[in-house]
């Protein structure tokens, strides 16, 4: 029944959030040097900084916590998690980690090679950081449509450009490529999905040259839902049938379970290769903890075993993806320029089209983050000139990124559509007055440019 689109849950416990005044928020912005990461969460009304680790757990998950087996080795809770992972990934081996980037680190140690290329659609920053430390060359080969924020025509804007992989193989030789990493969904360009056909074709091409394929699968269920809804031949398949097929095309998968795992901490390293598992376990013992807990408690493992299943629930996903679309639709009605189509975990506003008079070196998307918090107490995050800007290693001249957005990350099962309306109305008002805003100046940044957004300081121009 099409009209039944409300949340597939009822609320059993609530957490108070605080409305504040514009004057108060102006003071806190100043104290935070206009950096949203430095604002205290208690002073935020609706927090859309990230969808990571912010999910609300279900009553089933909270009761599973009590079953946590805190044994150092061979915990019952590990075996429950293993079964849940095998069911969804269709792969035999799992090493838990304390969060996704620890799984990224293990993966980078095993698959990124000094002086060799690591191809991705758009690499997630923590893998990119790990790969660069190891001397590998991460390259982003998302299709061109994936960089065009205004075009809604392509249903899978996270796809990898196969021609670009072929050209690199031709130019450098296949032995210069150590791994292909497919991130589902593609976070950096708007939570855009990758099609099954693309995963299949990338895997077939890599297989011909013996290049291993890894899937970075923080948002595996959201990607599977898009495949079911948008790709021919998947309408009648279940979410788990789709996830299992996705992972049938890779050797290894990593996951930050803080996203579709519906828990607040944790990560997974999953593989079908016994040798890879053994090496991953060695690294885990050194860096994370013993192989059956990997830096997590037994209760964390329990909550994740349940959360993974709930994250793949059809009714949950329908609600989830449609809530994000609801916010996107309200913003479009008000003329606010967003990345289209809306993706899985948030709405991305195009900073350059929102403030066309603010040049990229004056941080238009960061200005929008500041305006949104000032007007409505809503915290979003800049993914643009500050977060993705870099510097020429020789001349230190700034290099400005293709992507210039503000992400409104939507936490899972946390906010209602009334909260979405508050966000849409506030942005609509700011958009009406957009010509009154001027840009910003970066007055402080840390020594590592790729991490500067976490600690940067700004002034208003
Ligand atoms: C969040 C994320 C990570 C890192 O995971 P953490 O749990 O934050 O350490 C890696 N890859 C992708 C695609 C992610 O979204």
Q: Ligand 1 pocket check: which of 51, 52, 264 to mutate, most ligand atoms within 8 Å of Cβ? A: 52
Q: Which of 79-88, 335-344, 388-397 has the lowest mean pLDDT?
A: 388-397
- Please state the φ and ψ torsions of residue 117, each to the nearest 5 degrees: -85, 140
The alpha carbon of 218 and the centre of ligand 1 are apart by a number of angstroms equal to: 6
Tell how strand 346-350 and strand 405-409 pair up: antiparallel
pLDDT of 212-242, one tens digit each?
999 999 999 999 999 999 999 999 999 999 9
Q: How far apart are CA 195 and CA 425, in angstroms?
A: 33
Q: How far apart are CA 266 and CA 289, in angstroms?
A: 13
Domain spans, the chain: 22-51+314-460, 59-311
Average pLDDT over residues 373-394: 93
113 is catalytic: no
105 is catalytic: no
Is the beta carbon of 218 within 6 A of some atom in ligand 1?
A: yes
- Considering only residues 147 and 459, tell me which one the structure prediction assigns the higher pLDDT: 459
Is the beta carbon of 124 within 6 A of some atom in ligand 1?
A: yes
CATH label, 59-311, candidates 1.10.1200.10, 1.10.287.3510, 2.60.40.1580, 3.40.640.10: 3.40.640.10
Cα angle for residues 243, 317, 306 (degrees, 5° grid): 70
Q: How far apart are CA 379 and CA 439, in angstroms?
A: 18
Residue 132, pLDDT above cutoff 90: no
Which of 35, 21, 7 minimizes the C-alpha distance to 366?
Answer: 35
Kind and range of the H or E element at 269?
strand 267-271
Q: Ligand 1 pocket check: which of 182, 259, 409 to mutate, most ligand atoms within 8 Å of Cβ? A: 259
Residue 461, pLDDT above cutoff 60: yes
Indicate the CATH number for domain 22-51+314-460. Answer: 3.90.1150.10
Residue 52 alpha carbon, nearest atom of ligand 1: 1
pLDDT of residue 3: 58
- Strand runs (DSSP E) across 98-232, as ranges? 117-120, 137-140, 177-183, 213-216
Catalytic residue among 45, 111, 117, 124: 124
pLDDT of 418-452, one tens digit each?
999 999 999 999 999 999 999 999 999 888 777 88
């Amino acid at each position: 029944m099409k009209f039944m689109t409300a949340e597939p849950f009822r609320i059993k416990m609530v957490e108070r959030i605080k409305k504040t005044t514009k004057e108060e928020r102006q003071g806190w912005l100043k104290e935070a040097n206009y950096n949203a990461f430095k604002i205290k969460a208690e002073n935020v009304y609706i927090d859309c900084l990230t969808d990571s680790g912010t999910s609300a757990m279900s009553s089933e998950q909270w009761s599973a916590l009590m079953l946590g087996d805190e044994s150092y080795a061979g915990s019952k809770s590990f075996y429950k998690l293993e079964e849940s992972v095998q069911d969804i990934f269709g792969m035999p081996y799992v090493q838990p980690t304390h969060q996704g980037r620890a799984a990224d680190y293990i993966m980078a140690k095993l698959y990124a090679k000094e002086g060799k290329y690591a191809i991705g659609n758009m690499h997630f920053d923590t893998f990119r950081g790990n790969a660069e430390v190891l001397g590998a060359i991460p390259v982003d080969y998302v299709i061109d449509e994936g960089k065009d924020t205004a075009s809604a025509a392509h249903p899978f804007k996270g796809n990898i450009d196969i021609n670009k992989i072929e050209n690199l193989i031709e130019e450098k030789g296949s032995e210069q490529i150590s791994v292909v990493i497919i991130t589902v969904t593609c976070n950096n360009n708007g939570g855009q999905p990758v099609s099954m056909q693309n995963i299949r074709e990338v895997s077939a091409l890599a297989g011909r040259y013996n290049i291993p394929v890894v899937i970075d699968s923080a948002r595996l269920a959201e990607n599977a839902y898009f495949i079911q809804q948008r790709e021919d031949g998947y309408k009648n398949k279940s979410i788990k049938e789709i996830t299992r097929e996705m992972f049938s095309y890779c050797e290894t998968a990593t996951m930050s379970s803080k996203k579709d795992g519906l828990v607040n901490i944790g990560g997974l390293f999953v593989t079908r290769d016994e040798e890879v598992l053994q090496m991953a376990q060695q690294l885990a013992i050194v860096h994370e903890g013993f192989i059956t807990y990997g830096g997590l408690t037994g209760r964390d493992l329990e909550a994740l075993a349940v959360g993974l299943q709930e994250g793949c629930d059809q009714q949950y996903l329908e609600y989830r993806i449609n809530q994000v679309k609801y916010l996107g639709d309200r913003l479009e009605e008000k003329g606010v320029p967003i990345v289209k189509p809306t993706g899985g975990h948030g709405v991305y506003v195009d900073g350059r089209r929102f403030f066309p008079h603010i040049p990229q070196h004056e941080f238009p998307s960061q200005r929008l983050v500041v305006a949104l918090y000032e007007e409505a107490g809503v915290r979003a995050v800049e993914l643009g000139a500050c977060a993705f800007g870099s510097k020429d290693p020789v001349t230190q001249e700034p290099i400005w990124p293709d992507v210039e957005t503000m992400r409104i990350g939507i936490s899972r099962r946390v906010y209602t559509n009334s909260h979405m309306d508050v966000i849409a109305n506030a942005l609509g008002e700011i958009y009406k007055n957009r010509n009154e805003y001027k840009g910003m100046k970066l007055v402080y940044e840390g020594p590592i440019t790729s991490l500067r957004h976490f600690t940067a300081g700004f002034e208003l121009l």
